[in-house]
Structures are given as C-alpha cells and as structure tokens.
Amino acid sequence: MSARPVLGIIACNRTVGTEVAQTVINRYATAAMRYADCAALIIPSLPDHMHAREIVGRLDGVLLTGTPSNVAPALYGDPAEGEGPFDPDRDRMMIELVEATIAAQRPLFGICRGFQEINVALGGTLRRDTSASDELLHHHAPDDAAFDAMFDHRHKVDLVEGGLLASAYAAPSLEVNSVHYQGIGALADSLAVEARAPDGLVEAYSARPNGAPLLAVQWHPEWATDGDDQSQTYFHLLGRALRGEL
C-alpha cells in the first residue's frame, strides 16, 4: 500500500473530568482523513514542551480547526478583555504553527477559529459582534438553539470570480452554515479574499506564502460531510494540497 500524506491537526486544551486533555473533535479528523484521503497526527498545544518547528517538517500539511475557545484579543491589538473561553496555549502553538508551516513551505488550512487564527497570526484583526451587530447578518443561531440547530443556521456567501473556491465549485455563490460570534475585522495584507457574506464580512481567503497553498473558511465544512458534495470539496482541495497538486 502506498503511503498517504500525513496531516497535522492542532489540538485544544479542554477539561475532561478533573484534568486538562489535548482534544480534537472527531468530525474534523474523520472528515479530513476520509475526504482528503490522508493519515493524521494530533499536534498538542503544549508550547512549553515543544516548538512547532520540531514537527512541521515531518508533516505534509497542517489544519487549524474550529473550537469553542476564542483568540485572545491582545493578540490582535485589542486591549479589551473579550469573552472567553480562552486557550492561551493553543494561541501560542497556533502562532508557532502558522510561522513554521509557511517557513517549511507546507500547505496550511483553517476552519472557523482556525480561519480567524491565521488572519491574526499574519497581522489581521477580529471583530466580536458578528451575532449582535445591526450592521451584519446574525452569523450565529440564537443562544437557546439546540446543538444541531446551530449548524443548520445558514446564509449565502459570494465567491470571488477567478478565486480558488469559485474554480473548485464552478459556482458564483454557496449556502454555508454559520456558527461564529467573532469574524474578520481587518484582513491581513498577505491574504486574498475568496468569499464574502452579503453583509461584506470576509468568509474565506487564500494565499500562497512561500509557494505553498493556504486556504481557510469561516464556515464548517466538516459538519455532516457524508452525502454533502459541497463540504467534501473543501477536503478534496486539502488532499490535493497535501500531494502538491494545488
């Protein structure tokens, strides 16, 4: 059997019982392994014990996932405390991972918080009112919505003509799920918009730093991927990137 590419997936620090554990929600890992056709390794967010540079050269690419925690506002120059939960060790590890993955010329993909993280690591900012601003769509279901209903909260995104996503989907727009309280404020200078919501909020971006592809989306393609060609397409792009075909 020929070896499949190996994807590194960042972990979060979450309390399980009475102890802190390194966790990755299964749907991110299973969607990536199934539809990108890759093997996967979990990258612990333990920056006191390892540096991202030690491992990215052994990987074919990196995925930064969504998670309930928020990026610390101080990382994008906001003095406000913001609303948690926070995961400072993931914050530190993701900055190291973004820098090391780009330096190693490996593909870098992001989903939800991962989308926000890459923007921050590259010098962009976030806004924290995407479910409360009168200027924006409500990008999150009501707080009393059931868990599955949160992922049924959807809106349209317009794909940028000539972009990577517009080419992959051969369509001018998509309907995507929307499960985020925070979003892009200022987009990092090195990133190119791939999709916007009708209210103008950036929903996807791409780049080719050091020649390797970078692609991140604010929505959740890993949710209910079975039988959903649209969601699977994102991971097909990841698989191509891991094989140097993108």
The catalytic site residues sit at: 112, 220, 222
Question: By three-state DSSP, how is residue 75 classified?
Answer: helix
Distance CA 56, CA 43 (A): 10
Distance CA 103, CA 100 (A): 5
Count Cβ atoms within 10 A of the Cβ of residue 129 and give its class: 0-12 exposed, 13-18 middle, 19 or more buried.
middle
Tokens of 243: 């094989």
Residue partners of 147: CB distance under 8 A and separation at least 6:
none
Q: CA 228 → CA 76, 100, 175, distances in Å?
A: 35, 33, 12
Contact of 172 with 159, CB cutoff 8 Å: yes
Contact of 59 with 40, CB cutoff 8 Å: no
Contact of 64 with 10, CB cutoff 8 Å: yes
Residue partners of 204: CB distance under 8 A and separation at least 6:
115, 157, 159, 165, 193, 194, 195, 215, 216, 217, 218
